[in-house]
Structure 1
Amino acid sequence: MTKTIMTILSKLFCVTCLVLIFLFGGVRLFGLTPLVVTSGSMAPKYQVGTVVYIKEINPKDLRAGDDISFMFDSDTVATHRIVSIDQEKQVVHTVGINNLDHEGQLINDSQPVKFSDIKGRVTYSVPKIGQLYLKMHQLF
């Protein structure tokens, strides 16, 4: 009986590991990059711990309303929504959909995002699977 339980748990662990490897690494074969959401600025759409999958895109193909990931500073990637695009200056203006002022109005990001800083457009997301990554990151 104990051996059967151990066999089942072992197989379950292996399957879980394979699924996680695919969700975090295997998707790169399809041109997707997984990123873990670490702040609540895009809640409720992307809660902390959600994994968003982004795909590189020509900035000229972006539209207002697209969710994009971009270099916020030298070592931070942010995911926010495009509110407007300035093709001439080659920048987009973004907002975190949960960044509200005291009257409940959206607060646009203070700096526009250069086309060259855009990593990609969010193609899909999976809630909560990044929680393990965040816990491990806190430990190490």
Structure 2
Amino acid sequence: MALSNKGDTGVRLQYLHARLHSLLENCQVDLDLEANTQSLHQECAIQLVIHLGLWEQILKDSYEELEPSIIVRYLFKLCNLTNKCFKELTVKGEQIEKARARALLFYCSKKILSEGLCLIGVKPLDRM
């Protein structure tokens, strides 16, 4: 059970981080932090962007309530939303503008996942 990647487990969060790292490393698209994101109109992308935008409030709430489980719950939802986007939003082989926007979305997800894992004392893995 402790090493399961099904359900809400640390292994699942680590696996997602490694998967995002691999995607960004192998997608054949240079990361553009100024990419035009107008092509991210799919429901899964919108939900993920909204969730990413909650990160600072989650940090504040966790700090004020002295409750790290707020961060953990956020990370599991981030994992679920990111996995939905994996199914719908390919990067490799897409038109360059669309690929850059999607790569940026996945980069942001990885960055926040990495920060969250570090905050709860877990070293993010790039490979599993």
State the TM-score, normalized to the length of structure 1: 0.27
> Which structure has more strand as a fraction of its residues?
1
TM-score by length of 2: 0.29
- The structure, 1 or 2, with the larger RCO (C-alpha pairs under 8 Å, 6+ apart) is 2
Higher share of residues assigned helix: 2
